């Protein structure tokens, strides 16, 4: 996606968020993520929406089906209709992703990826979430994964923060100090 499309997607998303922010929730964000993944992987669906061979009724029916399938919030039909009218269906996925970013920023929601060398218990997950909550303000959402390459320990990160306490990090620091 080029810079112009990215800016355009954020402008559509900003207008949409300004109109429906009060109606959105974390569930809406999950719906946007699913729909954005679909439109990003199925570019041909976006391409077909711009074809004049399809009637506007068929296009609107397809969009209503998409809204129902992904459980998208109210107002999304108008957003998608506007994108179709402006022949911008190729950026639908980017607009949904921009809506996610803008909503999270406005609602002060931060998403973190937590990687550990072994599966974590619910208590350990709770402790990690409490640690993050003490470090940042706002709502914290975590996704967990097992990364055996850490050898032992945990890595917590997002686009702005990174905490790591693992054998891999200690070995990396030791290696760096020996190389000097």
Domain residue ranges in the chain: 3-106, 109-179
CA atoms lying within 13 Å on the CB side of residue 180:
5
- Inter-residue contact 140 to 121 (CB < 8 Å): no
Q: Please, which pLDDT band fits residue 177 given cuts at 50, 70 and 90?
A: confident
Share of the chain above pLDDT 70, in %: 94
Tokens of 58: 């068929």
Tokens of 78: 């108008």
pLDDT, tens digit (0-9, with 9 covering 90-100), for 133-151: 999 988 999 999 998 887 8
Fold type of domain 109-179? Glutaredoxin (3.40.30)
Return the pLDDT at 132: 94
Q: What are phi and psi of 102, to 5 degrees?
A: -65, -40
Name the pTM for this structure.
0.76
Q: Please, which pLDDT band fits residue 156 given cuts at 50, 70 and 90?
A: very high
Region 80-109 average pLDDT: 90
* Nearest 10 degrees: Cα torsion 35, 36, 40, 44: 40
Residue 116 has pLDDT above 70, yes or no: yes
pLDDT, tens digit (0-9, with 9 covering 90-100), for 69-93: 999 987 898 998 899 888 888 898 9
């Amino acid at each position: 996606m080029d810079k112009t499309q990215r800016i355009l997607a954020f402008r559509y998303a900003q207008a949409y968020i300004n109109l429906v922010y009060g109606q959105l929730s974390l569930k809406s964000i999950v719906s946007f993520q699913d729909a954005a993944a679909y439109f990003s992987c199925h570019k041909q669906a976006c391409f077909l929406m711009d074809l004049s061979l399809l009637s506007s009724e068929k296009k609107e029916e397809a969009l209503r089906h998409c809204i129902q399938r992904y459980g998208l919030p109210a107002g999304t039909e108008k957003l998608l209709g506007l994108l179709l009218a402006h022949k911008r269906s190729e950026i639908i996925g980017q607009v949904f992703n921009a809506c996610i970013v803008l909503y999270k920023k406005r609602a002060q929601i931060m998403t973190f990826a937590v990687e550990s060398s072994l599966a974590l218990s619910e208590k350990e997950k709770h402790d990690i979430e409490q640690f993050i909550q003490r470090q940042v303000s706002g709502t914290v959402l975590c996704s967990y994964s097992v990364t055996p390459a850490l050898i032992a320990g945990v890595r917590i990160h997002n686009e702005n923060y990174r905490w790591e306490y693992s054998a891999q990090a200690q070995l990396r620091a030791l290696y760096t100090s020996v190389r000097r």
